[in-house]
Amino acid sequence: MRTQVGIIGSGPSGLLLSQLLHLAGIDNVVLENRSQDYVLGRIRAGVLEMGAVDMLRQAKVHERMDAEGLIHEGVDLVLDGERHRIDFKGLVDGEVMVYGQTEVTRDLMDARAAMGGTCLYEAEATRIEGLEGDAPVIHFRKDGVEQTLTCDFVAGCDGYHGVSRRSMPEDVLRNYERVYPFGWLGVLSDTPPVHHELIYVNSPRGFALCSQRSLTRSRYYLQCSLDDQVGQWSDDAFWEELRRRLPEDAAEALVTGPSIEKSIAPLRSFVAEPMRHGRLFLAGDAAHIVPPTGAKGLNLAASDIHYLFHALKAHFEDGEDSLLDAYSETALRRIWKAERFSWWMTNLMHDFPDEGPFSAKVQRSELEYLFDSEAARRVLAENYVGLPY
């Protein structure tokens, strides 16, 4: 097989790049190790910056998002059971949209199928050769048959465990990582959200987050031990613990029901530099991971694709490679700012029992300063709604 851009991974970043390239007349093929059902079964982010929303509109996959997505103009932060609203609209004239990553992926899958895009599922990319030449080759296995895809460029959108980053020479790649001493226990339920906007809770019992996917589907999280297992948490135990951490009015308003998904995710920060080697370009989780506290994972993937798409478009349409040459540096500038914000939000809202009373006092002081200072709230709002591309 031969194409212009070989894309490894059919998550939102790979499919979004595929769709944008297709609309620009640039041939591409997507290879995905898993099945379509598996990809759609992954429960991930639900908060979109308006930059990501604009990209989905540019990709012409916005109809259902615009009809069903929920615009949020702020969030609540809770300390000592008292809610403090961060007013995005009033502070920075900004907003975000709540629309689940699963729905974004479904919309992109449907668009690629309708336009005849080539997306090969259950096609495992096993190695990449010739990255320093003009025609790299992706070796992949589908239906037990070894095959190859020759292309001009490779976009590695295959996540942390994919083959793309592993294909970069060890003496070129630098990894930066912070692992947090807790996880998030998440529950998805077909219940109305407890509040029309998100609620972030700093509680002596640990962090909690009230999020949502729609007017009838809620997503809730509890800070938990890394030693916890999902089987230890019945639905009743989850709801009881959530009520204990919420402010009184939210606890009383909480509607509970059977979980339709329950999982525990560890938290970490990770960045790989550079994001390019030869004709390979990393994007999304293949290059970086953020703790979900700042709602930046999917949004960072979208900004990577913004930079990469425009760079590839300039190459194929104008023979101009300056954007390709600058891709890694440009993307990393925005990534590190989002990493900083996600790290800060995580440290601001979670319980760190091993760090002692001094750190706890500093955390409280930071929150009190935030609630008292409009300038501090403006910084939070600016980062939460998304820095410009």
The catalytic residue positions are 72, 200, 292, 296, 384
Q: Collapsing DSSP states into helix, strand and coil, what is residue 321?
A: coil
Please name the helix (run of DSSP H) or strand (run of DSSP E) that holds residue 8, with its range, or none: strand 5-8
**265, two tokens:** 């995710």
Other beta carbons less than 10 A from residue 223's beta carbon = 22
Please name the helix (run of DSSP H) or strand (run of DSSP E) that holds residue 88, with its range, or none: helix 88-92
Q: How many CA atoms lie within 13 A of 92 on its CB side?
A: 22
Other beta carbons less than 10 A from residue 86's beta carbon = 22
322 by Cβ neighbours in 10 Å (0-12 / 13-18 / 19+) ranks as exposed
Distance CA 15, CA 11 (A): 6
Query: Please, which contacts does 369-377 make with residues 24 or more away whose CB atoms are closer than 8 Å?
Result: 370/77, 370/84, 371/77, 371/79, 371/84, 374/91, 377/86, 377/87, 377/91
Adjacent-strand bridge partners of 220: 187, 210
Please spell the DSSP secondary structure of 210-265, one letter per residue.
EEESSSS-EEEEEEE-TT--GGG--HHHHHHHHHHHS-HHHHHH-----EEEEEEE
